Structure formats: structure tokens, C-alpha cells
């Protein structure tokens, strides 16, 4: 996935009424294929912005929002986790978003 495709996917998942940001907030089950595409987009963004000193404000806002929403929802999952959001997948999402902003 190239950077433009990744940004489009992030934008769609953020703005859609059935986007991942909403599904994270509602702790809904998520298809594994959809999570895979999301992670691929995050990795593409991470790779593109490695060693860059500037990231667009809109993209920063969306990435932090995904991170914070998933983290807040995850704190409420005691016994049952939504399908598709295993500990490993959530950790990978958090780590990849964090790596976008790492030195």
C-alpha cells in the first residue's frame, strides 16, 4: 500500500459512520481482513514518515484519536474482547502508531 492509499483508508475509517474509530468506541467485533488493511496502512504511514520532521496535523489528530479511543475501550474489556481485537493486534496498533512519532 502506498502512502496516498494509506491516508485515504485512515480518513475513511475515521470519518465513516461504520469506521474503525466508531467500532473501537462501541467495542464491536471487527473483521480480521479489515484490521489487516488498517495495520498495513499504519505500517505504510510509519515507513513514509520515518526520519521526517513534519506530519500533517489532520493525520496526527486521526492517529492519536484511534489510539486513545482503542485504549479507552480496551480498559472496559474484562472477560470478553471484541472479535478481531486480540491483545496482540491491539498492541501492534498501539506500537505502530507510536512508531510514526518516534525518532
CA 26/CA 14 separation, integer angstroms: 14
Which pLDDT value is given to residue 20?
94
CA distance 1 to 77: 32
The CA distances from residue 85 to 4, 18, 40, 44, in Å, are 26, 16, 15, 20
What local confidence, expressed as pLDDT, does residue 35 receive?
Answer: 96
pLDDT for the residue 53: 86
pLDDT per residue over 41-58, tens digit each? 999 999 999 888 899 999
Residue 103, pLDDT score: 66
* Domain chopping of the chain, boundaries: 3-100
* Residue 79: pLDDT over 80: no
Q: 66-97 b/e with 16+ CB inside 10 Å = b?
A: bbebbeebbeeeeeeebebbeeebbeebeebb
For the segment 8-33, the average pLDDT, to the nearest whole number, is: 94
Q: In terms of pLDDT, which residue wins out, 93 or 74?
A: 93
pTM of the model: 0.91
Amino acid at each position: 500500500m502506498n502512502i496516498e492509499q494509506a491516508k485515504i483508508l485512515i480518513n475513511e475509517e475515521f470519518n465513516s459512520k461504520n469506521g474503525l474509530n466508531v467500532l473501537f468506541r462501541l467495542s464491536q467485533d471487527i473483521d480480521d481482513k479489515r484490521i489487516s488493511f488498517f495495520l498495513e496502512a499504519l505500517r505504510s504511514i510509519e515507513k513514509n514518515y520515518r526520519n521526517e520532521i513534519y506530519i500533517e496535523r489532520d493525520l496526527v489528530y486521526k492517529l492519536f484519536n484511534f489510539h486513545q479511543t482503542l485504549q479507552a475501550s480496551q480498559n472496559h474489556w474484562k472477560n470478553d474482547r471484541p472479535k478481531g481485537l486480540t491483545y496482540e493486534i491491539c498492541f501492534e496498533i498501539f506500537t505502530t502508531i507510536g512508531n510514526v512519532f518516534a525518532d
